[in-house]
């Protein structure tokens, strides 16, 4: 067997590259035709039922607004029920036929069963399940003194997607529904201070890629991956939700520019309704994947140069379990990048017009 593997190591790579070179034009043509077809025939979402987890802020909130414009029936799920009430009102102003809000923890299977069953009991169906719950960190792995945060990160980023999918999948099959997943480019692009987060996102993408083959054409899956979404990342921010544990989130997501979050949400919903398997924002990040596969050393050297910062190692100790140095800024409650009061005024003016 060792002799066979040694021979295949020499034969398979060059033969595969030659086959790919000949097949590439035809594959590209077929992909373009599929893209044009799906772009022309978008799914009519009016009166359909969409469950969105992690809908209380950021991308989840904006996705709710994009679906609302398509006149769907929304089920908004998060742990901050008070926050969901305001988002639900905004969604109604934007055109949602009906909005149901439910406080639930997506890492608990019983909670997932509860909000899915309540959706079925009320609406009788589920057409789209949108998983947006996500949690990041900004500390180096070796600096984490409190390892209890590790399973929390894995639970939210991985199991927080798997449990809702597992519960909703039988109902999605009945109506050839779709699962939409908020992933990240860090699943394959290595960046410092995101080791656990990146591992969880990699597991998430591999889970759904495998699930595609298991469910075949019965249920569609749209994987959305985003790159750098916001401003420069300096420190982690402490977030305390009502009735929830302390959580640490990436500043790139916390302080992301409104227009970038809105643009990504718009792409996700548009891609999902068109049946796209992947939504990428921005798409030029894919070039790094080629380097990752064919020239990993070049990619590693490039990132070392870009992230070296003259040899200084800047980090955040928030979330590591270690005491903060004297003079550190006070910890603040996380607020959504979306200006709620301003947006509500705009929505009311639009409604009056």
Would you write out the chain's pLDDT as a tens digit for each of its 353 residues?
788 888 888 888 888 888 878 887 888 788 778 777 776 778 889 999 999 999 987 889 999 999 999 999 999 999 888 889 999 999 999 999 999 999 999 999 999 999 999 999 999 999 999 999 888 777 888 888 888 888 988 999 999 999 999 999 999 999 999 999 998 887 777 777 888 888 999 999 999 999 999 998 899 999 998 876 543 333 333 343 333 333 334 333 444 446 788 888 999 999 999 988 898 887 777 777 777 777 778 777 877 776 665 444 555 444 555 554 444 444 333 333 333 334 344 433 333 33
Q: Considering only CA atoms, which of 90, 61, 4 is closest in space to residue 269?
A: 61
What's the token pair of residue 285? 């990040």
> What's the rounded Cα separation, in Å, for the pair 331 and 344?
28
- Catalytic residue status for 140: no
Three-state DSSP state, 73: strand
- pLDDT at position 251, please? 36
Answering whether pTM is above 0.85, one says no
β-strand 178-182 against 73-78: which pairing, if any? unpaired
Cβ count near 336 (within 10 Å): 19
Q: At what angle do helices 81-94 and 58-68 cross, to 10 degrees?
A: 30
For residue 61, what are the contacts with CB-CB under 8 A and spacing of at least 6?
A: 55, 87, 336, 338
- Residue 184: what pLDDT? 82
Q: Which of 67, 163, 197, 281 is catalytic?
A: 197
What is the H or E stretch that residue 222 is in? strand 220-226
Q: What pLDDT was estimated at residue 256?
A: 43
Q: Look at residue 353 in the predicted model and tell me its pLDDT.
A: 36
pLDDT at 173: 94
* Cβ atoms within 10 Å of 351's Cβ, excluding its own: 10
Q: Which CATH class is domain 38-235+251-306?
A: alpha beta
* Alpha carbon distance 326, 201 (integer Å): 34
Q: Give which of 265, 221, 222 is closest to 91, Cα–Cα.
A: 265
Q: How many CA atoms lie within 13 A of 127 on its CB side?
A: 16
């Amino acid at each position: 067997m060792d002799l066979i593997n040694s021979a295949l190591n020499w034969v398979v790579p060059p033969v595969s590259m030659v086959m790919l070179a000949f097949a590439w034009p035809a594959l590209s043509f077929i992909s373009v035709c599929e893209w044009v077809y799906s772009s022309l025939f978008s799914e009519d979402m009016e009166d359909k039922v969409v469950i969105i987890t992690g809908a209380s802020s950021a991308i989840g909130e904006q996705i709710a607004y994009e679906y609302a414009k398509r006149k769907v029936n929304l089920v908004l799920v998060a742990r901050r029920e008070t926050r969901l009430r305001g988002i639900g009102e905004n969604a109604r102003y934007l055109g949602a036929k009906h909005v149901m809000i439910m406080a639930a923890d997506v890492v608990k299977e019983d909670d997932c069963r509860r909000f899915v069953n309540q959706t079925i009991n009320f609406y009788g169906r589920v057409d789209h399940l949108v998983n947006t719950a996500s949690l990041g960190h900004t500390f180096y792995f070796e600096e984490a003194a409190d390892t209890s945060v590790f399973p929390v990160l894995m639970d939210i980023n991985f199991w927080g997607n798997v449990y809702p999918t597992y519960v909703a999948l039988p109902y999605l099959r009945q109506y050839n529904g779709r699962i939409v997943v908020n992933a990240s480019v860090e699943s394959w692009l290595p960046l410092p201070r995101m080791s656990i987060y990146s591992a969880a996102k990699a597991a998430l993408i591999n889970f759904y890629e495998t699930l595609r083959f298991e469910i075949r054409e019965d249920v569609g899956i749209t994987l959305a991956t985003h790159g750098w979404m916001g401003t420069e990342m300096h420190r982690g921010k402490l977030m305390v939700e009502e009735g929830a544990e302390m959580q640490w989130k990436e500043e790139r997501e916390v302080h992301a520019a409104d227009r970038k979050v809105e643009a990504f949400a718009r792409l996700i919903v548009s891609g999902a309704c068109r049946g796209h398997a992947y939504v990428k924002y921005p798409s030029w990040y894919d070039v790094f994947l080629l380097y990752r596969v064919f020239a990993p050393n070049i990619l590693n050297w490039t990132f070392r140069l870009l992230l070296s910062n003259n040899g200084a190692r800047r980090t955040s100790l928030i979330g590591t379990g270690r005491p903060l140095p004297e003079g550190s800024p006070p910890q603040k409650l996380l607020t959504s990048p979306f200006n709620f009061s301003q947006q509500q005024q705009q929505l009311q003016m639009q409604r009056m017009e």
